[in-house]
Structure 1
Amino acid sequence: MEQVLILRRSPLPLLILAILAVLLAASLVFGQWPDYAALAASLDQPLSRLRWIIGDISEVAFYKHELPALGLLLGAALAHWAHVRGYRWQGFAICYGTGLWPWLFTSSLLGLLLSHALWGWTLASGTWQPTFVAFVSLPAAMVLLFGGGWRVTLTGALLGALLVTPASLLLVNYLCYPLQLPVVIGNVGGMALASVLAFSLCKYLPSLVRDALPAVTPQAIARKPDYGVAWTLRRVLADFSEAPFFGNELASLGLLLGVLLAYVLAPGAPAYGSQLVIQIVAGQALASLVGVLFWRRQWMARGWYPTYIPIVSIVPAAVLTLGGQWQVVVSSAILGALIAPPLAVAISQRLPGHIHGYVGNVLSMAISTLGIVPLVALLAGGHS
């Protein structure tokens, strides 16, 4: 009965309508979307470049479009507002209940903008470049590790643009492209290498992050999860926004509404024009569901487990590389769900204390993608 009352008090239907209204308004402002190829070919035009930059916010889920990006941010903003006020319908507390979402988002966004200012010229090559990586890596991790405040926020943004983006650019262009590897390996490999360097730098130069503001968790009603069906479905949804360190159902809902609306309005625009949005989203959902169910005891024991990893690495990489056949979708989801999370935990547990555990997650993404995608190709009968 209590869950029914909470659901009735939830503004979820209004949220869905509000997000759709904003996204539709954005569609009117931006006008008719070009397909991805046309967008990539016109990046010398200000509007196309703006679309690319906004699309970077949803790039980590392989959606690459302004509508899922805007939906993600709308949902996240509402989730933070609900968290500050302690509303039960907030879902999983955004940013792990730290109350640091404004600082985290500011640092990530500044890192993204600085990356484009410094490295946006690489897009003139005519090939895809990982300009998005600073938004979902070091800046956010630094805020979560050291706390809020302008010093940490600006340090994270600067190091993200100066270290993470060029590291990923180098790996993508000089490793992934020549060897025909999924580019996600270069993306996350650059995040890991640059982040280890950045965290080590902060250890030996603590003035970079000194005087950080501690996390302030608003007063809320503590409720122990029952890890039942409702919790499982909520956790699967929250996994979709875990990569930018949000981990919240409302943020994920905005992301998914945005990408599905983008696909309906212009199928050739999101997900690099692959027209595989439905297969990608289905595989991502299946991967999270299998992971949450299989690793349920780990969730119960630890309070958090990285079941989101195949959502932003193995599954979309396999589908985009090998095609949208059901064999590819199902095998990549299951293998990713079973292999990647425990590998991430094993790596993270061996990291020094001054390095954020997300480094283990991204290393797991790189290793798992490198090993699983070829295996999926064999299991799927060599389809490509």
Structure 2
Amino acid sequence: MSGRAESWLHRWPDYSHMLDHLDEPMARLRWIIGDISEVAFYKHELPALGLLSGAALAHWANRNGKPWQGFAISYGTGLWPWLVISSLLGLLLSHVLWGWVLSSGTWQPTFVAFVSLPAAMVLLCGAGWRVAFNGALFGALLVTPASLLLVNYLCYPLQLPVVAGNVGGMAIASVLAFILCRRYPRLVRSTPAADLPQAVPVLSTKPEHGVLWTLRRVLADFSEAPFFGNEWASLGLLSGVLLAYAISPGGPAYGSQLVIEIIAGQSLASFIGVLVWRHKWRSLGWYPTYIPIVSVVPAAVLALGGSWQVIVLSAILGALMAPPLAHAISQRLPSHMHGYIGNVSSMAVCTVLIIPFIRLVTGATS
């Protein structure tokens, strides 16, 4: 790399610079794009763009029947384009309506519409502009303000992990939205309820659950939260965050410089979860082993530091507790609600319970 290029890369603005200059168009644009990778706690434009690029490649490979496509993106529904349209539109509408909250100078959960109700509504109700637009609208009108209220009036005052407010808002708002959709079905569909796809994703084939499948599943878990669940999407996400970290360690993951520790804990959590719950993958076709990747582990590392004790404990406890709790809740939801509500509910409960326990056991204070 030439000296000029290296010097330019090292001037890439870090997270604190972005947060301090959100009144400037470029910093605000970086924040909005970074929201796409926020669910993995990376918060940077490079992993966000990598995630979307990898997912687009996976969708193309799926549409063309390529053998290297990996796990069929968005569970083989073929709805990935509509899912992304609705999620991105929900994100943009959220910033139009609620972007002013960033003037407070503190972190705010503006990302939540991208990884919640809009995508779930597309998966549950099917393709079409009516579903995509109304899902995005519900995301901006219900999910984002619900998470903002919980984060600012519950998590911050009580010093709870903000992830509990993020996902708690997703769960509460999604329940309300699906009740409205059941009451007014023309909001999202014009087909009989019996013709709707199942809420729980099912793989189209029954693979051998050996070593290679396990490694692929761990990788795919990194892109499960935005409803992609594909290795190429995950590779794009991880490549982007590692590149961002190499360019400016203070850029991704809120400038914590804990990117490596977070990824290590996330990988360990998914690996343990996939191994322990492999029989569930085999019998059900899908199981929420991704949950600690986007909740317990990164929240613990950011709150308590990147020691090996924090990494290992958060990975083990998250992998053992979160997936079965999520599955138990999802199984008890009515058929007109997407099962992801159980997943985000589990994220909230497990994060609130596990992080104080780790703090007690390890004595971590940072």
Tell me the TM-score normalized by structure 2.
Answer: 0.94
Conserved in 2, the CA contact under 8 Å of 1:238 and 1:252? yes
Conserved in 2, the CA contact under 8 Å of 1:176 and 1:185? yes
Conserved in 1, the CA contact under 8 Å of 2:10 and 2:247? no
The equivalent of 1:255 in structure 2 is 237
Conserved in 2, the CA contact under 8 Å of 1:79 and 1:250? yes
Deviations 1:344-364 (A, max 9, x none): 001111111111000000000
Matched, 1:35 2:14: yes
The equivalent of 1:144 in structure 2 is 123
The equivalent of 1:218 in structure 2 is none
Count of aligned positions: 353
The equivalent of 2:300 in structure 1 is 318
Conserved in 2, the CA contact under 8 Å of 1:307 and 1:337? yes
Change in Cα spacing, 1:348 to 1:224, as seen in structure 2 (3 Å) is closer
Instruction: List alignment gaps of at least 5 residues for structure 2.
Output: 198-203
Conserved in 2, the CA contact under 8 Å of 1:331 and 1:379? no
**Deviation of 1:214 (Å):** 7.3
1:333 to 304, 309, 315: 315
Conserved in 2, the CA contact under 8 Å of 1:314 and 1:373? yes
The equivalent of 1:76 in structure 2 is 55
Deviations 1:86-116 (A, max 9, x none): 1111000000000000000000000000000
2:260 to 269, 278, 283: 278
Conserved in 1, the CA contact under 8 Å of 2:14 and 2:250? yes
SS in 1 for 2:28: helix
**Deviation of 1:282 (Å):** 0.3
Separation in 1 of the partners of 2:11 and 2:225?
29
The equivalent of 2:331 in structure 1 is 349
The equivalent of 2:181 in structure 1 is 202
**Deviation of 1:265 (Å):** 0.2
The equivalent of 2:78 in structure 1 is 99
Change in Cα spacing, 1:31 to 1:162, as seen in structure 2 (3 Å) is farther
Q: How does 1:298-309 map to 2 (within 5 A)?
A: 298-309=280-291
Change in Cα spacing, 1:365 to 1:150, as seen in structure 2 (3 Å) is same
Separation in 2 of the partners of 1:32 and 1:354?
50
The equivalent of 1:12 in structure 2 is none
Matched, 1:287 2:266: no
Cα RMSD (Å): 1.8
**Deviation of 1:226 (Å):** 0.8
Identity over aligned pairs, percent: 75
Tell me the TM-score normalized by structure 1.
Answer: 0.89
Instruction: List alignment gaps of at least 5 residues for structure 1.
Output: 1-24, 216-221
Change in Cα spacing, 1:31 to 1:265, as seen in structure 2 (3 Å) is closer
Deviations 1:185-216 (A, max 9, x none): 0000000000000000000000101237977x
Select between 374-383 and 182-191 the one with higher mean Cα deviation.
374-383
**Deviation of 1:379 (Å):** 2.3
The equivalent of 2:345 in structure 1 is 363
Runs of 4+ in 1 over 4 A off after TM superposition: 212-215
